Structure 1
């Protein structure tokens, strides 16, 4: 009785980037072999189908053994079983935690729970991302969220240190954690024009200007939380729209500064009070969880859509927000300039990023 046995002996663990990508995409061994065949690997390497199948299975076994280490990347650096050069280790980690933006956009703002995971079949069909890949990426989102949700300090830096991710990818994961934490509404029809990159840029601005962790790393509150004390203070800004004299003075200062400089001056003059109320009230409502959820809906409905209707250009909006933010410095009765500028820094960044078709 005889049997065939495939044996591989070596020292450095070989990583085939093409096979790794196929494994990450969720393809079976048979599917990976078929794709490699279509890619012309036999002609390039001068090998046989049997060797190709054996090679693919061997790579898959290696990736499956490595996966438990990829769940905690520092362990990959510390282990001695797999001899993998540092640059290859970095590639393995980066590609394992890379994600499809279409999938991230679908999951943004949702609770990273078993209930959401059960919806991945539908998400896979909508995005074209394979179901196995969807599950791996979802598990990565959840793993990162659980690891950093209680940590102090800048969220992206914590993720970068714990998971050894490059800074841009760590910032994207920080945005996912931030949205999962605050549960912002992102699925409404009027928000569908916004991409994952749009929301991620907004999250980074909000964390950079509003979160306690970014401003004071020693603070008790995690960077992914919107500080309750800051949100409560935002109610003080309502004086800009409830005090008629301040509202009129604010309008006069902004209109004087922009006369002849923007193409929609008449529209600005007519809509200034409505726009100002919208901008101030968005912040004044953020002490309530439901209003936090509607933050982006409110910005689109009450600021972006009216400006689009009046045919504001992005340059018009930028000029307006610059002077609108600066003008209260010259209002004698206004005593919250530092709070105002901190608030408007994130609002301005969000609006300018979101103002597109």
Structure 2
């Protein structure tokens, strides 16, 4: 009788079904998850038994629940002994667990991450059509990241990556959540409802890069969550652009001469007739940021005093981009600014970020 040679390989790598994991994250019960899987697979697999699929789904859910304590502390996932998970699968598990539903994040953004607001998540669920379980998981994720990094020194995005093993893209989204929660920006006003989470996250990233204490001095504490107070104080000195009539008239003349023929006729006519109001809005927003309430109203003020009036005057995005660029460059030529060269750096720092934020918000 011929000998039969059999090679046996024994492994304990944990198998993760991404589709079942997605159903679990979405907040479906194991029965609901099995039903969704059955509807999808029964037409593709002859003789598929629902009970078998239900049992498999329940086993997967039980495994995810056992993993969840490590997902809440992602750095432990790589060295815990219970589940042998390849590095690429670990990254997928973490990224998906902390993935944001933009519509949910938009509802939570700017709110204090407290137990009181957690109780209101049923309203968020009804409004966004995202399950309450998913809303709660996302809210708890926001709060967990916020608590972990709010008092840390060093760049916030890197701190989040180090503590939660996020990709840079996901870490930047959470940095925006932390930044907004820390500074309590007003995001709920009616005129702001057209702005998306992505709009706010973009602006938060620009503010972190240019306007926080760590943006100019890496030795300072609370680097990325707090604004640079010295910078906010210096912004008050930009009132020189609007407090002196001669300076304001000179500024308008420089801008008009530079933009003639380069922007739409409607935008040019509006600059000619409404320059002082627009310039005053730009400067007043800057000078008011030293006060907590006015800082919290930054986005509302930008939309109310810059975006809405120019849109009503039928400016295009290109008109606005050229105007803001010219507004900045021509400011340096004004006599009063010429005597305060230190303000050139302050103005550039302010206008670079304001310009990016305004242009990002300049949509329907």
Superposition map of 1:142-153 within 5 A:
142-153=143-154
Conserved 8 A contact 2:240-2:336: no
Tell me whether 36-45 or 118-127 shows the greater mean CA deviation: 36-45
Conserved 8 A contact 2:150-2:222: no
Q: Distance in 2 between matches of 1:46 and 1:214?
A: 62
Query: Per-residue deviation at 1:46?
Result: 5.5
Conserved 8 A contact 2:213-2:229: no
Query: Per-residue deviation at 1:184?
Result: 0.7
Query: Per-residue deviation at 1:337?
Result: 0.4
Residue 3 of structure 1: aligned partner: none
Matched, 1:342 2:349: yes
The runs of 5 or more residues in structure 1 that have no matched partner are: 1-8
Q: Distance in 1 between matches of 2:42 and 2:103?
A: 30
Residue 100 of structure 1: aligned partner: 101
Residue 269 of structure 1: aligned partner: 272
Tell me whether 315-324 or 210-219 shows the greater mean CA deviation: 210-219
Q: What is the total number of aligned residue pairs between the two structures?
A: 349
Residue 304 of structure 2: aligned partner: 301
Query: Per-residue deviation at 1:111?
Result: 0.4
Residue 318 of structure 1: aligned partner: 321
Conserved 8 A contact 1:110-1:183: yes
> Could you tell me which of 316, 329, 334 is aligned with 1:331?
334
| TM-score normalised by length of structure 2 | 0.93
Q: Deviations over 1:8-55 (max 9, x none)?
A: x96111101111001101111111111111112584386422221221
The runs of 5 or more residues in structure 2 that have no matched partner are: 1-9
Q: Distance in 2 between matches of 1:46 and 1:341?
A: 69
Tell me whether 117-126 or 329-338 shows the greater mean CA deviation: 329-338
Matched, 1:27 2:34: no
Conserved 8 A contact 1:108-1:186: yes
Conserved 8 A contact 2:215-2:223: no
> Could you tell me which of 281, 295, 305 is aligned with 1:278?
281
Q: Distance in 1 between matches of 2:293 and 2:213?
A: 21
Residue 356 of structure 1: aligned partner: 363
Matched, 1:117 2:134: no
Conserved 8 A contact 1:150-1:222: no
| TM-score normalised by length of structure 1 | 0.95
Superposition map of 1:47-66 within 5 A:
47-66=48-67
Conserved 8 A contact 1:318-1:352: yes
SS at 1:292's partner residue?
Answer: helix
SS at 2:54's partner residue?
Answer: helix
The runs of at least 4 consecutive aligned structure 1 residues that moved more than 6 Å come to: none
SS at 2:78's partner residue?
Answer: helix
> 1:45/1:271 Cα in 2 relative to 1: closer, same or farther (>3 Å)?
farther
Root-mean-square deviation (CA), in Å? 1.5
Query: Per-residue deviation at 1:157?
Result: 1.8
Q: Distance in 2 between matches of 1:284 and 1:235?
A: 4
Q: Deviations over 1:123-170 (max 9, x none)?
A: 100000000000000000000001110112222221122111111111
Query: Per-residue deviation at 1:210?
Result: 0.5
Residue 198 of structure 2: aligned partner: 197
Q: Distance in 2 between matches of 1:11 and 1:218?
A: 47
